[in-house]
Structure 1
Amino acid sequence: MERIDGIGALFYYLFGESFRRAVVAMYAFDARAAATAPATRDELAEHVMNRIGDEPLLHQRLAPTPLKLDNPAWVADTIKPGRDRVTSRTVQGAGTWADTIATLEAIAAEPDAGEVPLEVILLEGVNAMPELPQGSIVIVLRTDHAAMDGTARAAIERKLFSSQPQDWRAQEPVAQYRARRSLLPQPILLSALAGLVPRLATTVQLVRQANRIVDPAAGLEAEAGATEPSAPVEPSAPVEPRPEQAPVRTSIDTDPDEPQRVHEFLTVPLATVAAARRAVAGATVNDVVVAAVTTALRAYLVENGELPDEPLQCFIPIAVPAAAGRTAGNNITRGTIPLWTTASDPIECLRLTHRTTSEVKNNVGTGRQFLLEQAALTMFAPLAARQHRKDTKEGRSANVAITNTFRGKHPLYLGDAPAVRTQIVSRLNRGAPLTHQVTNLNDELMVSISAGASSLPDPRRYRQLLHDAFTELAKSREAPSDDAGTVTVS
């Protein structure tokens, strides 16, 4: 019987109620000049089945293993499979942008949200000018994070939407989905019992593989210990907080499960991001995003008179190698990096961000952390989820979360209507009240900001500061210096 991976099982047990695992991704399509875009629920259902009707995620759901003896298993969905996964909602109120966001929040909070891995929803009654063009067609994908990460969702997007305008009615239907015999709910417990010994063997094998990999940090320590002691060296950067320490707290660190949320949205030309990358050799798009968030947070905290003396901490999911085009699974591992709010200059902040983020990703890139993580989650996903909840309650978590999912350079079309905006709304905030969901569309970077109402009482001001941070980074140039490692902090 096929079961979800360890990271997915961690999410499944960590969040409990299914709606807490739901991720709502909105796609707005400009239909003003469109002639062949599906605009009704029935037309959308036909379009979905023609393009991804063979996708197992439309015909399966997750079922827990009794006594939590194994990870949840994929079973045949007899409640609402296939075409029944395509539904519609009417936007609340007058259909304004605020009403649209409130409706997306409501979709994410519906009691059955996340009960199935993939749903397609047509949002009707949207009248959100100037944020969206008049008459926009708004499609929502509601996914279960236990079943798929952002990369898998992006693969679903590319299958559901086209990269060129086309007549959806002329789409050649995909082959009919055929369920496998193993997708029956009855043998879940029996297969879990039969799999205990193989799972234990897998756990031992993963640990052995991990132990054969040299930890880069340990290697550096050993190398340093083999040399003669040298004179003390003045540190070139603020001291990074030790991983076992709780992050410093500010007013943004409220209850991550605060029911009232605020949302903001920001677009940044990719040309601006590219200009910022050139300021520091080797800097990536992710580095620029993190540095911009750090710079904005620093300004926000300064304005509120509470800039801490230590860097904040940021949670980032780190992708690990996976099969290309996969539409399910969570091929990610955890990562926590410092947000150098102690650096007064944006370029110094970007330089420090690039250095420390590279170190974290290089360590993950060896595979050791991921293997050990998979070993633990193969046998003990429920216990790991319980420990994570305990750690979060005790405050050992990040101040901020940044999630990057880049969908490539190709545009998205629904029939012949081009996508002009995407936004993410989710309740996956446990451990980080302020989150940034980052993606790209056409020639723009899009940032969805979500926070507890008390942690970000002035979201528009924060949005403006984040916009200014990207602009400032793009205009900056790294000054030549005899000592490039020297950093000015305040």
Structure 2
Amino acid sequence: MTQLKPQDSQFLYMETANNLSNATMICVYSPPADAEDFDCFQSIKEHIQSRLHVSPIFTRKLKRLPMNLDYPYWIDDRFFNIDSHLFNASLPNPGNWRQLCDLAASIHSRPMDMNRPLWEIHIVNKLNNIDETECANVPPGSFALITKIHHVAIDGTSAMRFFQALSDIDPNGTPAADINNIQGIHDNEPTVGKMLYNAIHNHIRSPMQFMNTAARSIPSIAPGVIKSLISHDKSERNTVVHSRFNEAVAPQKSFSACSFPLSDLKSLQALAPESKLNDVVLAICSGALHHYLLAHQDLPATPLIAWVPINARAPKSDSSKTDGNEITAMSANLYTHIADPVARFKAITAATRLSKEAKSGVSARLMTDLSKHMPGATMALASKLILASNVTAKLCNLAVSNVPGPQIPLYIKGAQCVHQYGMVPLADAMGLFLVTLSYNGKMSFSITSSDNIIPDLAFFTECLTLAFNELKDLTNTLSANADRSK
């Protein structure tokens, strides 16, 4: 019997008809060596059937309490049927990249059946006309897996582990994870009496734990609070300007993506010597926003602020116990108003370092810790109040998440995965989420938005490429100058 953690439950309580809490992965595979005899749907179905034991996500569903009296439970689905979760799909002619993006967005935008395990996989056959300039290395006969999982069950890090457990490390079918020693997790349905007892116990215990957490945090947050109270320097405060991304979001989401060599991204760190790879990601996103908004004559004079999720797991945490969400966050000033790309990059690097060390990181971690001790009914009510208050627009303009992945090729039934992309939930007043996934020497930049927020998503994707190329050109110039000076 496993009860949901408060952070997982937030993705239930904050879900609306317009903004679902779905997380979607788009994996593109080149055809296997035996492509002529390859029955794509049946082969993938057999493979997934053989890996159902690698994660409880596959076969357990939610048990919710009336009026959200307490957090829900995971229970085994006694009537689990894999055919209810696998779907055969194909693109209409000509079967190109834009159509694949539209299909992924359509799947992402549909609600899940909350009476079943919260996942589904769409197997998209015969990708025969993918333009090399839009998505490289997709030969005719390739296929895609569009996997949708409710965010209540998974975050970025656990999602990568989930997909790795489904994958092989060679065309011969050698599992990427040790699937033979995985112990199955069974969640029996709790009795009504047990759920009521736990609800009463949690409501009594939660206020005490809440106060204990707050008391432990005072020494770390007090200096920052005092400084902010006495400071008159407005430049130290991240004031969120209203932008076109802070509007109501349409229920039908949109998706696009592009990819860059990971080695090139790492080389860009030479432009800001103290930068991390995450700073490079933010710099490219900021550059894209600068170019996009400038082209639309809509660039604010003050910078946009990004909400940046951070993996909160211990480095050596047991992967068998880390499904669900373990994240904190920080806010990041993107300095989108700065025209010079290097100055913008250096400003982002300095700001993120301070955020991690000081008040932004501490306050985000504190809110995460405190939310762990809210009773279920309180969390449900608080989530609704947050949605009604439009607080998202007061905290950030958009979100940017960088999720590291495996740097070796992964396979499924002999077919090599050549691209990985992701879509994530949006919220009203936060209509843009940029997700980067690193895999096998590349990093993809995935865009989740809606047409009323970004009506020209292809142009925004071009702006990402433009931002990358201008930093790459400056890096090459810096390297050439260094060579001449030797």
**Aligned-partner residue type, residue 241 of structure 2:** V
Q: CA deviation at 1:314?
A: 1.2
Distance 2:164 2:204 in 1: 37
Q: CA deviation at 1:283?
A: 1.2
**Aligned-partner residue type, residue 297 of structure 2:** G
**Aligned-partner residue type, residue 6 of structure 1:** P
Correspondence list, 1:303-314, <5 A? 303-314=295-306
Provide the secondary structure at the position in 2 that maps to 1:411: coil
Provide the secondary structure at the position in 1 that maps to 2:430: coil
The answer for the alignment partner of 2:90 in structure 1 is 91
- Judge conservation of contact 2:89–2:125 (CA < 8 Å) in 1: yes
**Aligned-partner residue type, residue 133 of structure 1:** P
After TM superposition, the score normalised by the length of structure 1 is: 0.83
After TM superposition, the score normalised by the length of structure 2 is: 0.84
Q: CA deviation at 1:32?
A: 5.3
Q: CA deviation at 1:335?
A: 2.9
Q: Deviations over 1:212-268 (max 9, x none)?
A: 235555325668999xx9xx9xx7xx82554xx5x3223343322x14544321111
Correspondence list, 1:223-234, <5 A? none
The answer for the alignment partner of 2:465 in structure 1 is 467
The answer for the alignment partner of 1:118 in structure 2 is 119
- Judge conservation of contact 1:91–1:100 (CA < 8 Å) in 2: no
Q: CA deviation at 1:381?
A: 1.7
In structure 2, relative to structure 1, the CA distance for the partners of 1:189 and 1:424 (3 Å cut) is farther
The answer for the alignment partner of 1:160 in structure 2 is 166
In structure 2, relative to structure 1, the CA distance for the partners of 1:285 and 1:33 (3 Å cut) is same
Q: Deviations over 1:18-68 (max 9, x none)?
A: 981222211111115356997433322221232343421111011211121
Distance 1:86 1:216 in 2: 47
Distance 1:119 1:225 in 2: 49
Query: Which region of structure 1 is more displaced relative to structure 2, 342-351 or 208-217?
Result: 208-217
Query: Which region of structure 1 is more displaced relative to structure 2, 347-356 or 268-277?
Result: 347-356
Provide the secondary structure at the position in 2 that maps to 1:41: helix
In structure 2, relative to structure 1, the CA distance for the partners of 1:354 and 1:36 (3 Å cut) is farther
Distance 1:478 1:282 in 2: 18
Q: Deviations over 1:403-436 (max 9, x none)?
A: 2211132221113221111222344344311221
Q: Give unpaired runs (5+ residues) of structure 1.
A: 481-490
Provide the secondary structure at the position in 1 that maps to 2:127: coil
Distance 1:36 1:277 in 2: 45
Provide the secondary structure at the position in 2 that maps to 1:335: strand
The answer for the alignment partner of 1:286 in structure 2 is 278
Q: For the aligned residues, what is the CA RMSD?
A: 3.5
In structure 2, relative to structure 1, the CA distance for the partners of 1:377 and 1:351 (3 Å cut) is farther
Distance 2:92 2:221 in 1: 55
Q: CA deviation at 1:6?
A: 0.9
Distance 1:309 1:397 in 2: 18
Correspondence list, 1:217-296, <5 A? 218-219=222-223, 239=235, 241-242=237-238, 247-256=240-249, 258-296=250-288
Query: Which region of structure 1 is more displaced relative to structure 2, 414-423 or 426-435?
Result: 426-435
The equivalent position to 1:329 in structure 2, one of 324, 335, 338, is 324
- Judge conservation of contact 1:203–1:378 (CA < 8 Å) in 2: no
In structure 2, relative to structure 1, the CA distance for the partners of 1:453 and 1:373 (3 Å cut) is same
In structure 2, relative to structure 1, the CA distance for the partners of 1:240 and 1:266 (3 Å cut) is farther
Give the share of equivalent positions with the same residue, in percent.
Answer: 20
Q: Deviations over 1:105-132 (max 9, x none)?
A: 2322334356523333322343342233
The answer for the alignment partner of 1:46 in structure 2 is 46
In structure 2, relative to structure 1, the CA distance for the partners of 1:313 and 1:358 (3 Å cut) is same
The answer for the alignment partner of 1:194 in structure 2 is 198
- Judge conservation of contact 1:55–1:177 (CA < 8 Å) in 2: no
In structure 2, relative to structure 1, the CA distance for the partners of 1:421 and 1:223 (3 Å cut) is closer
Q: Deviations over 1:272-331 (max 9, x none)?
A: 211112222331111111111112211222222222121112122122124242451100
The answer for the alignment partner of 2:188 in structure 1 is 183
Provide the secondary structure at the position in 2 that maps to 1:433: coil
Distance 1:176 1:467 in 2: 42
- Judge conservation of contact 1:7–1:377 (CA < 8 Å) in 2: no
The answer for the alignment partner of 2:130 in structure 1 is 129
Distance 1:390 1:408 in 2: 39
- Judge conservation of contact 2:257–2:447 (CA < 8 Å) in 1: yes
Counterpart check, 1:374 vs 2:369: no
Counterpart check, 1:339 vs 2:370: no
Structure in which a larger fraction of residues adopt helix:
2
**Aligned-partner residue type, residue 275 of structure 2:** A
Distance 2:178 2:412 in 1: 15
